[in-house]
């Protein structure tokens, strides 16, 4: 049953919390280094993944959305500012759970791809022989549990090593329809829910039930992968929470972006040298191309008609309500861990699978009402986010969600691959509570890091790096990192990042330390570095089955016309 959403009061109000976090940020990041692999205990692991959450949406990352439970974990733990995803749902999840680059396991794009012998990196099907994180942890004596979104095709979560599953096998669907969600193994009972059904609540209900059962074997630690579908579209949320945020977003995305940027500076999340970029362009994006928006900039809020502003404010209010609801449910998990005296020895890692979602233009889409950018007026506004509705919030709000980065999900600029990340682990973190860690690392590093911390084996195919030393206050020389999705591509080496949009796009070079908002393209100033890093990327791409696919259809560019510099 879904319990009451009433929460106990926090120790700090929002203003006090921001001040505390900002104060902690000014202190040294870590104290008391220890040997990374010498932990005398094996922690429980709670891996929480949000879906399409923007970098600055959480309160502890500068946002105005009320997220007191995640803020509390950040206040007591560490916020990582440079954990990188793989730009989109399936590739990120493949990297997270296999420790390999997604192309190496066939998930360079999305599930449901059409297998082609020349393009094995884009089959949309991960080989059955690939070992997943739950399999490795189960082998090491962990109870393995999953609630939420799978989105990695067949074989499904049970065959990949989870003992219990409840959630969505595919990528997204109604939050109000219980028929879209599955319980596996099929003969296991479904946890009852309180009407009306709401997916984020039901996912948490099952997670709590799974933990209750796992505790019947106290000698075994547990691993829970809590993969929320929120705040991915369709935008659905309880109406009372939506109404609360409506006046907040009637300020518009320009005001929200600036306020977030200012808060992020106060919290120490961004370097004072960095500037807030102009509003991002809407695309390029294949659907946006059709709608004529590809090269246009998101419009200024004050230039929009009043009825369009009402519609757009409502969309963002629903999104914010979804994030707040997810935070409330995470609070239920935290309360449960505290009641079971498990908080101290549970490693909680929270992140998002990619940046905010711009699909498909400034107005968002609306499947339920017909036209892609249907404008809601009058009574229609009240029905937004309720059963039967089905829409997104568009590129203008995605740009605000990703403050201060450029572009969005799908792309390898910072707005597509930068994920807000919180780690809370009282017995294992040797960091000052509330501190920031600016170490760059990658989703493929999470598997080898967790296997190292738990004593599980790490398969030789794993491409990620064991980063557990960063939890002990040490700097890790991570080495170069690489990306590709839908032709957008990037390589990062130290402070330098080379990135491009789509195969025909020219390489852009940025000094991420001085300019992480990617405003000053240094490619013409350092042509030899561009050539060298482009060659690094191409070598990685050939080794990981990225090439030749991105140089050929469906993008329509010949290899000679679009080959990297």
- Residues 359-383 have a mean pLDDT of 87
- Answer yes or no: is 137 within a domain: yes
Q: 331 and 421: one domain?
A: yes
What's the pLDDT at 451? 98
- Nearest Cα neighbor of 226 from 209, 253, 259, 203 is 203
**Out of 151, 236, 410, 413, which one is annotated catalytic?**
151
Q: Tell me, what CATH number does 361's domain have?
A: 3.40.720.10
Q: 362 and 497: one domain?
A: no
What does the pLDDT look like over 134-146, one tens digit per residue?
Answer: 999 999 999 999 9
- Answer yes or no: is 37 within a domain: no
Q: 488 and 462: one domain?
A: no
Confidence band (pLDDT; 50, 70, 90) for 18?
A: very low
Q: 470 and 433: one domain?
A: yes
Q: 491 and 405: one domain?
A: no
Q: Is-cis flag, bond preceding 425, omega within 30?
A: no
CB 265 within 8 Å of CB 205: no
- Answer yes or no: is 74 within a domain: no
The terminus-to-terminus CA distance of the chain in angstroms comes to 58
Q: Give the residue from 452, 477, 502 where a domain finishes.
A: 477
Q: 405 and 326: one domain?
A: yes
What does the pLDDT look like over 341-358, one tens digit per residue?
Answer: 999 999 999 999 999 999
The residue among 360 and 259 whose pLDDT is bigger is 259
- Answer yes or no: is 10 within a domain: no
Number of structural domains (the chain) is 2
**pTM over the 0.75 mark:** yes
Q: 352 and 364: one domain?
A: yes
- Residue 520 dihedral angles phi and psi, to the nearest 5°: -115, 100
- Nearest Cα neighbor of 436 from 90, 61, 143, 91 is 61
- Residues 148-173 have a mean pLDDT of 97
What's the pLDDT at 6? 36
CB 164 within 8 Å of CB 145: yes
- Residue 449 dihedral angles phi and psi, to the nearest 5°: -65, -45
What's the pLDDT at 554? 47
Which range has the worst mean pLDDT, 175-179, 233-237, 367-371, 547-551?
Answer: 367-371
Q: Tell me, what CATH number does 525's domain have?
A: 3.30.1120.10
Buried/exposed 387-411: b ≥16 CB within 10 Å, e otherwise = eebbbbbbbbbbbbbbbbbbbbbbb
Q: Give the residue from 477, 496, 518 where a domain finishes.
A: 477
Q: 301 and 271: one domain?
A: yes
pLDDT at 527 over 90: yes
Q: 173 and 251: one domain?
A: yes
- Answer yes or no: is 158 within a domain: yes
Which range has the worst mean pLDDT, 8-17, 220-229, 291-300?
Answer: 8-17
What does the pLDDT look like over 91-103, one tens digit per residue?
Answer: 999 999 999 999 9
Q: 369 and 331: one domain?
A: yes
- Answer yes or no: is 29 within a domain: no
- Answer yes or no: is 5 within a domain: no
**DSSP string for residues in 122-155:** GSS---TTPPPHHHHHHHTT-EEEEEEE--S-SS
What's the pLDDT at 282? 86
What's the pLDDT at 371? 67
Q: Which structural domain range is residue 528 located in?
A: 479-565
Q: H helices within 124-238, ranges in order?
A: 133-139, 199-214
Could you confirm whether 151 is annotated as catalytic?
A: yes
Q: 406 and 354: one domain?
A: yes
Handedness of CA 114, 119, 124, 128 (dihedral sign): positive
Q: Give the residue from 455, 477, 499 where a domain finishes.
A: 477
What's the pLDDT at 293? 54
Q: 469 and 548: one domain?
A: no
Could you confirm whether 206 is annotated as catalytic?
A: no
- Answer yes or no: is 14 within a domain: no
Q: What is the mean pLDDT of the chain?
A: 89
What does the pLDDT look like over 418-436, one tens digit per residue?
Answer: 999 999 999 999 999 999 9
**Out of 89, 410, 442, 485, which one is annotated catalytic?**
89
- Residues 32-50 have a mean pLDDT of 66
- Nearest Cα neighbor of 557 from 494, 491, 486 is 486
pLDDT at 15 over 90: no
């Amino acid at each position: 049953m879904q319990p009451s959403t009433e929460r106990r009061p926090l120790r700090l109000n929002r203003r006090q919390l921001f001040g505390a976090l900002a104060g902690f940020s000014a202190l040294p990041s870590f104290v008391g280094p220890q040997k990374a692999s010498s932990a005398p205990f094996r922690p429980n692991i709670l891996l929480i993944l949000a879906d399409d959450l923007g970098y600055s949406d959480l309160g502890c990352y500068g946002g105005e959305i009320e997220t007191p439970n995640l803020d509390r974990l950040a206040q007591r733990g560490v916020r990582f500012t440079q954990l990188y995803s793989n730009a989109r749902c399936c590739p990120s999840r493949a990297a997270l759970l296999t420790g390999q680059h997604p192309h190496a396991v066939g998930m360079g794009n999305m599930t449901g791809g059409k297998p082609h012998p020349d393009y094995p990196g884009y089959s949309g099907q991960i080989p059955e022989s690939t070992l997943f994180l739950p399999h490795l942890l189960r082998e090491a004596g962990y109870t393995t549990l999953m609630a939420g979104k799978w989105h990695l095709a067949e074989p499904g979560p049970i065959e990949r090593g989870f003992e219990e599953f409840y959630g969505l096998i595919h990528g997204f669907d109604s939050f109000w329809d219980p028929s879209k969600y599955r319980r596996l193994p099929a003969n296991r009972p479904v946890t009852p829910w309180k009407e009306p059904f709401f997916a984020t609540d039901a996912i948490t209900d099952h997670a709590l039930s799974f933990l209750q059962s796992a505790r019947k074997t106290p000698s075994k630690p547990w691993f829970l992968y809590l993969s929320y579908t929120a705040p991915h579209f369709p935008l659905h949320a309880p109406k009372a929470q939506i109404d609360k945020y409506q006046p907040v977003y009637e300020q518009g995305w320009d005001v929200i972006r600036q306020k977030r940027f200012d808060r992020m500076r106060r919290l120490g999340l961004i370097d004072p040298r960095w500037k807030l970029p102009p509003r991002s362009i809407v695309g390029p994006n294949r659907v946006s191309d059709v709608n004529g928006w590809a090269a246009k900039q998101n419009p200024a809020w004050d230039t929009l008609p009043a009825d369009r502003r009402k519609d757009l404010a409502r969309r963002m209010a629903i999104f914010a309500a979804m994030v707040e609801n997810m935070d409330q449910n995470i609070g239920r998990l935290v309360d449960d861990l505290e009641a079971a005296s498990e908080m101290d020895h549970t490693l909680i890692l929270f992140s998002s699978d990619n940046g905010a979602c711009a699909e498909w233009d400034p107005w968002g889409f609306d499947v339920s009402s017909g036209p892609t950018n249907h404008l809601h007026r009058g009574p229609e506004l009240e029905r937004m986010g309720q059963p039967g509705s089905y829409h997104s919030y568009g590129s203008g709000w995605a740009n605000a969600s990703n403050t201060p980065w450029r572009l969005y999900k799908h792309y390898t600029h910072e707005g597509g691959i930068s994920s807000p990340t919180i780690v809370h682990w009282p017995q294992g973190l040797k960091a000052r509570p509330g501190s920031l860690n600016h170490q760059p690392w990658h989703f493929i590093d999470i598997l080898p890091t967790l296997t190292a911390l738990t004593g599980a084996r790490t398969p030789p195919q794993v491409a990620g790096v064991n980063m557990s030393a960063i939890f002990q206050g040490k700097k890790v020389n991570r080495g170069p990192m690489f990306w590709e999705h839908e032709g957008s591509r990037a390589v990062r080496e130290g402070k330098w990042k080379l990135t491009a949009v789509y195969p025909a796009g020219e390489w852009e070079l940025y000094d991420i330390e001085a300019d992480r908002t990617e405003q000053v393209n240094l490619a013409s100033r350092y042509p030899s570095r561009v050539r060298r890093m482009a060659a690094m990327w191409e070598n990685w791409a050939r080794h990981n089955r990225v090439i030749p696919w991105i140089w050929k259809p469906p993008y329509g560019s010949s290899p000679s016309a679009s080959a990297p510099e």
